[in-house]
Chain A
Amino acid sequence: MDKKEVIARLTSTWADTPTGKICLRLAEGLLRLNPEEAQMLTYESMLAIVDQDRVTPELEAALTALTTSEAAILKAGGIFIDEDDTSSELSDEEFADVVARNVLVHPITGEFVDNPRDHVLPFFSLVKLAESAH
């Protein structure tokens, strides 16, 4: 799937909905980025792209679409930062557990982290897309 196909799919699926408008705006902004600059995008990055000052339900829905739909161009992940300021990137399974069940085992101590959602920095990275055909 190349950039044009991504936009076409988003347009046909989400056209004329509030979520769709943000989704397209976000996708267009993300697809303009140098991939090297899209390794760790935070909510702040997304707010800057869509020129909003807070995360709205529509923005959350747009991010869900861009990470899970057929037109997914983002991969979600998390960085766990403990009380010593040591950070470690979570595996996909670990991140999924934090999101779904708020459960995380400390990578060093092997003990459950209390309320891990408070200690995980969520981020998104741009997936590699196909080159556009000329």
Chain B
Amino acid sequence: MEVWLDQSLLSSLRERMPWLLANRVLKAVGLSTSQGWDRTSEALASVDHAYAERELRRFLEEHILCGEKMTKFYAVGNEGRAALAEAISKAPLGQGPFASSYPLLLDEQALGEAGLDPELVQIVRNAEGVGAVFASCVNLTTRETISTAQLDEHSALRTQFDEIVGLRYRPVQLFAVVWVHSRHNVVEVRTDFPRGMTQELAHQLQSQYRKAVNMLIGQDILVRPVDLYPLVWSMYSDASEGKVVQLTFNTSTGSVKDERMRRTRLCLREELYHVGGVNALSQDIQPFHVSIQWHLSADGLLLAPELTLAGTSRGAHKVGGGSGEPVISAALIKDCLGTEDYEYVSERVLEHLRRLTPAEPAAATAVG
């Protein structure tokens, strides 16, 4: 029996995955790609490839769990994690369109009819923990430039303007994951952070899921995310930790620098200009924003996940020397294909948190 490649599977991948990653995935499952999504979709419209379809579905599910995420880490003891894992395991899946189509994404029309409220669509269990996967819809605004040459030749706008900027409101399906680690005293709240989403909206979504978790379990188990600000220096100064591709820092000489590596596989830590500047000062630079990329491989696939810890130039201390809310409450983890590279980055974050924790916490007991 022929099984044509599910076009909604391709369109779901297109909606979520950066082309560079998707191109690699399509080739890895044995499909030929053309230049860009349109030509590739056309070329694959009448392909019979059951193996590819199964594998693409797996990649899509993994990307839903791990791709293009804002992640907040919450310190939660054994009892709390056990209770949350149990509550998640018993939670009923939704009955709405998000759940019935999972892992496929709804098209724009169906999204408009689905409503905006989150729905539990999947519960995931593996050796690393247990997670609840939610789907929801938000309206994202994108700006597009419209050339006046595209307008009707009689339009008065053509003489008045050279370029017009339009705002497009588009419903977008997002996924969030509440992940209870089995081996660490940590619960992660991961929310999709696609291109075009503001940090403000991303933090609002995070807050929404934090409250939902607390309601599910009937207690405030997730209160304040772990402050990741100390990891900026910790990870920047560890030369074995990937490649620093961006660093923003204050200097004691009264400037703020934003340095980015443009060439791949080069590290700012070793870059002549950066090293020269750092060595010219007797005071350490004060980084508050770092992006680090790792180069890994798994099952023949090249993986290049990137972590960003984005603080502000105000730093960690207020007037009077005190510190308040977490300076960096979230990690941005992007360019992950799935659990392999995402968990690598998450483990590196947890490792640096452990190094910075003054007292040894009680050993985590496996839960879930």
Tell me which of B14, B38, B264, B272 contacts A36 (CB under 8 A). B272
Judged by a CB distance under 8 angstroms, whether A8 is at the interface is no
Tell me which of A36, A40, A108 contacts B18 (CB under 8 A). A108
Q: Knowing A34-B272, A105-B19, say if A110 contacts B262 (CB, 8 Å).
A: no
Beta-carbon nearest neighbor of B275 in chain A: A36
Judged by a CB distance under 8 angstroms, whether B195 is at the interface is yes
Residues of B within 8 A of A37 (CB): 272
- Asked if residues B14 and A110 are in contact (CB atoms below 8 Å), the reply is yes
Judged by a CB distance under 8 angstroms, whether A45 is at the interface is no
Q: Mark A50-80, 1 if CB is under 8 A from B, else 0.
A: 0000000000000000000000000000010
What is the minimal beta-carbon distance from A36 to any residue of chain B, in angstroms?
Answer: 5
| Interface bracket on A | 20 to 34
Tell me which of B20, B40, B145, B260 contacts A107 (CB under 8 A). B20
Contacts between chains A and B (CB distance < 8 A), count: 48
- Asked if residues A39 and B20 are in contact (CB atoms below 8 Å), the reply is no
Residues of A within 8 A of B262 (CB): 40, 79, 87, 89
Residue count of chain B within 8 Å CB distance of chain A: 20
Beta-carbon nearest neighbor of B36 in chain A: A105
What is the minimal beta-carbon distance from A87 to any residue of chain B, in angstroms?
Answer: 5
Within 8 A of B (CB), among A97-134: 103, 105-112, 125
Residues of B within 8 A of A105 (CB): 19, 35-36
Residues of B within 8 A of A106 (CB): 19, 36
Within 8 A of A (CB), among B3-24: 14, 18-20, 22-23
How many Å lie between the Cα of A37 and that of B260 in the bound state? 15
Residues of A within 8 A of B154 (CB): none
Judged by a CB distance under 8 angstroms, whether B263 is at the interface is yes
Chain A contact residues, CB within 8 Å of chain B: 34, 36-37, 39-40, 79, 83-84, 87-89, 103, 105-112, 125
A-B pairs with lowest CB-CB distance, top 5: A110-B19, A110-B37, A105-B36, A108-B18, A107-B20
